[in-house]
Structures are given as C-alpha cells and as structure tokens.
Amino acid sequence: MLGKKLVTAQKRGDTRALFLGLGMMACSVLMYFFIEITITPKYKKSIWTKESICEVMKASIKEKVHCIFNKHSGDENIFRYPCLEVQVNLTALGQVVMLYHTEDTWTRNPKCSYIPGNLENFGEVQKNVESIKNNFSKIKIFPCFYDPSRAEPSVILERLYSPAGFVITMIWPTLMMTGGILIIILVKINQYLSVFTASQYIRPV
C-alpha cells in the first residue's frame, strides 16, 4: 500500500519536474525569439567596430534644432534640447568627422552628437548639455570607434552593442535552456534508476 502511494507520489513529482523543465525550455526559446527580433538588429547595425583615438576639433552648441520626435505633432517650432555638435579628428585616418555619443544617438537624431536623457526640465537639460560641451574642451583626446569599411564616416564614443554585450544578453536564455535540459535529464535518470531498483526487488531469488 505504502509502496504504491510512494510510487504515485514520485510519479506526480516526476511529471511536475518534467513540466518545469519543458517550461524553462519553452521560456528560453521565447527569450531567444524576442532577442532575435528586437535586439539582434541593433547589434547588426553597430558598424563602428574598430577602436582608434579621436581628438576634438570643435565642440559647439547649434542654435535651435528640430527635435525629431516633434516632426509629426504639428507643433513644428518646439525645440526640446540644445543640439551639441562635436567634430573630431579620427587620428588613425586623419579625417575630421562627426562624433556621436552612442549608436542610438546616431539613429535618433544624426544632427546632434548628444541627446540628453531626461527631457522634462529645459533648464536642467541646458546645463547638462553645457557641461558635456565643457568636458570636451578639457578632455581633448579619447578612444572612439569607427566603421573600418568607411560606409559610415562618423565615429561613436561608447559602443552600446558590442559583441561582448551580445554574449551577456544571451547568457540568461542559455542558462535557462541548460537548466531545463538538466532537469529533464535528471528526471529520466531518476526514473531509470527506480525502475532498475524495483526490478531488482521483484526478481525471484
């Protein structure tokens, strides 16, 4: 009686563990899929792969420049942040080109080198952009990234979508996939072992 109950309980436990394992695998597949459609394109578009040294030639704040977000709002004359323009000498090639903060800056507004994070208080935003401009007059030489194929002449200061970043992004779904597979393997081994032990007991001596 007790033995039968134990076997039923173990079976139920096995089924739960199997479902947990399968659930984790399904979840990681969803995560891979999500990464593939949302994040991978950003990594593919990150063409600024080569590092070099850049030297600031000019850092200035342009007079009012359209903020891209307002293009379709009808209110054509709202400017939400001062537009900082930084020109650098890409010393590896001796070319003077536009510098962008990150890949996203280039995508969102290629007219400006920097887009402030919080656009709510214009006074704060102005101070923020000014201080960044001043930093460029203090730190004139720094590492930067450029497109070695020269399809894109500009350079960026920080690479958001580097291969190392992609590996880090893939760690979570991969861990979950491995966990799911391990659970299923363990359940199978356990089942095999209990069948094996049971057969040892049943076998007549």
Instruction: Report the interface residues with ligand NAG, using CB under 6 A.
Output: 89, 91, 94, 96
With respect to ligand NAG, which residue has the nearer C-beta, 64 or 150? 150
Indicate the residue whose CB is closest to ligand NAG.
89
**Min CB(94)–ligand NAG separation in Å:** 4
Which amino acid is present at 56? V
C-beta of 87 vs 194, nearer to ligand NAG: 87
**Packing angle between helix 2-38 and helix 163-202, nearest 10 degrees?**
160
Work out how close the CB of 91 gets to ligand NAG at its nearest, in angstroms, rounded to a whole number: 4
Query: CB atoms < 10 A from the CB of 22, how many?
Result: 13
Least CB distance to ligand NAG at residue 52 (A): 10
Closer by beta carbon to ligand NAG, 56 or else 183? 56
Q: Which is nearer to ligand NAG, 89 or 128 (CB)?
A: 89
Torsions phi, psi for 64 (to 5 deg): -40, 130
Is 98 in contact with 85 (CB distance < 8 Å)?
A: yes
* Smallest separation, CB 57 to ligand NAG (Å): 7
CB of 124 to ligand NAG, least distance (A): 34
With helix as H, strand as E and coil as C, how does 106-159 read? Answer: HHHCCCCCECCCCCCCHHHHHHHHHHHHHHHHHCCEEEEEECCCCCCCCEECCC
Amino acid at site 102: T
- Between 74 and 94, whose beta carbon lies closer to ligand NAG? 94
Residue (38 or 137) nearer to ligand NAG, CB: 137
Question: Would you say 21 and 184 are in contact if contact means Cβ atoms under 8 Å apart?
Answer: yes
Q: Is residue 86 within 8 Å of 113, Cβ to Cβ? A: yes
- Least distance (Å) between residue 114 CB and ligand NAG: 22
